[in-house]
Amino acid sequence: MNISSEPPVVRESMVRTPPEKRAGRLRLRGARLAGFLLLMLRNPLTAIGSAIVLMLMLVAIFAPWIATHDPLAQDLANALQAPGAAHWFGSDEFGRDVFSRLVYGSRITLYIVALVSVTVGPIGLLLGVVAGYYGGVVDTVLMRITDIFISFPSLVLALAFVAALGPGLEHVVIAITLTAWPPIARLARAETLSLRHADFVSAVKLQGASSLRILLHHIVPLCLPSVIIRITMNMAGIILTAAGLGFLGLGAQPPDPEWGAMISAGRRYMMECWWLVTIPGLAILINSLAFNFLGDGLRDILDPRTE
C-alpha cells in the first residue's frame, strides 16, 4: 500500500474561517437590504406609506410614554371638551382623553393586522400551492371551497362569523382570518400553475426529488414575493373590516379604545363634537392608505412583471 508523502493541496476557500464566511454573508445581506430600502425611498408614495406604517408601530410600542392621559380614566366634569391644551384631540362623553385613546387604539389595530396577516399568509399559500401543483380533484375541491368564501363580501362574512362566535377581539381575529385567506390562495395557485411545468421543475423531478421537496424548496420561494405583496395590500382591508366590526359593537368591548368603537360612540354627538368621529376616522383612513402605498411599492420592487 503506497502512501503519498506529498502534502494535500489546500485551496483558498478551504482556509477561510467560518466567521469570515458569516461576515461575508452578512455584508451581502446588508447590501441587499440597503438596495431594497433605496428602491423604496425612490417612490414618494411608498416612502410616505412606509413612514406612516413605521410611525404606527412606534406609537403602538411606546403608547404608555406617548399618551398624555390614562385612556380609561373618566372625568365627567370635563366631558366633551374641544381640542385644546388640556386635551389635544378633545375629550369624549365620559371625559376621557381622545388623543390617549387613539394612541392605545393603535395597539389594538396593529394587533389585529399582525395576527391576521401571519395567519392567512401560510394558510392561503399552502392551500394555493397544493391546489395548483397537484391539480385534479384536489384543485377542484380546494378552489370550490375558496369560491364559496369569495362569493360573499368580506365584511358580511366576517359579521356572520362574529355573530356566531360572539363579540370580542379574539373572535374578530378569527372571523377576519376566515375571510382573508381565499384571495391569497387564488394568487398562490395561479403562480404555481405557471411554475409546475417549468423546465427547472422537470429537471428536479428527473433527479428524484419528492413532491414535498419541490414544493418547499422551489415552488413556495417563487410564490412568496407575490403573496407578501398581496398580504401587505390586504392589511388596509383588515383595518377597515376590524373598524366596521368595532363600529357595530362586535370587536373590542368597552371601555377598550378601538377606533371603530370610538366612531360608533361619538356619532351621537357628531354635529356638536366633530372631533369624536373625525379624528379616529382620519386615523383609519390614513393608515389604510399607508398600507396600500406600501403594497404598491413592494409590488414595483418584488414583481419583475411590473417593470
**pLDDT tens digit sequence for 264-288:** 999 999 888 999 999 999 999 999 9
User: What is the distance between the alpha carbons of residues 95 and 91, in angstroms, rounded to a whole number?
Assistant: 5
Q: How many Cα atoms within 13 Å fall on the side-chain side of residue 81?
A: 21
> How many angstroms separate the CA atoms of 291 and 88, rounded?
26
Rounded to whole angstroms, how far apart are CA atoms 50 and 53?
A: 5
User: What local confidence, expressed as pLDDT, does residue 29 receive?
Assistant: 64
pLDDT in tens, 27-61: 666 666 666 667 667 778 888 888 999 999 999 99
Q: Which three cell numbers stand for residue 89?
A: 384631540
Domain boundaries, the chain: 63-306
User: What's the pLDDT score for residue 171?
Assistant: 93
| 3-state secondary structure (DSSP) of residue 97 | strand
The residues, ordered by sequence, that sit 6+ positions from 304 with a Cβ below 8 Å of its Cβ are none
Q: Where are the alpha helices (DSSP H) in 4-135?
A: 12-15, 18-42, 44-61, 63-66, 98-134
Contact of 234 with 180, CB cutoff 8 Å: yes
Q: Report d(CA 46, CA 37) in Å as an integer.
A: 10
The whole-number pLDDT of residue 289 equals 94
Return the C-alpha cell found at 121: 399568509
Name the nearest CA neighbour of 291 among 43, 27, 49, 38: 49
Place of cell 378552489: 143
Cβ(129)–Cβ(192) under 8 Å? yes
CA of residue 52 relative to chain centroid, distance: 14
Nine-digit cell at 212? 414535498
Q: How much is the pLDDT for 1?
A: 45
Q: Which pLDDT does position 78 carry in this prediction?
A: 87
Torsion of CA 37, 184, 156, 142, to 10 degrees: -170
Residue 292 burial by Cβ neighbours in a 10 Å radius (0-12, 13-18, 19+): middle
Instruction: Pick 63-306's CATH classification: 1.10.3720.10, 3.40.50.1970, 3.40.50.300, 3.30.565.10.
Output: 1.10.3720.10
- Give the separation between CA 227 and CA 258, rounded to whole angstroms: 28
User: What are the cell numbers at 141?
Assistant: 375541491
Inter-residue contact 127 to 181 (CB < 8 Å): yes
pLDDT at 13: 44
Pick the closest to residue 251 from 167, 174, 160 (CA basis).
Answer: 167
Look at residue 225 in the predicted model and tell me its pLDDT. 86
Q: Cα separation of 259 and 236, whole Å? A: 14
Residues of the chain with pLDDT under 50: 1, 3-4, 9-17
- Nearest Cα to Cα of residue 179 among 223, 224, 262, 245: 245
Look at residue 275 in the predicted model and tell me its pLDDT: 92
pLDDT tens column, 180-192: 999 999 999 999 9
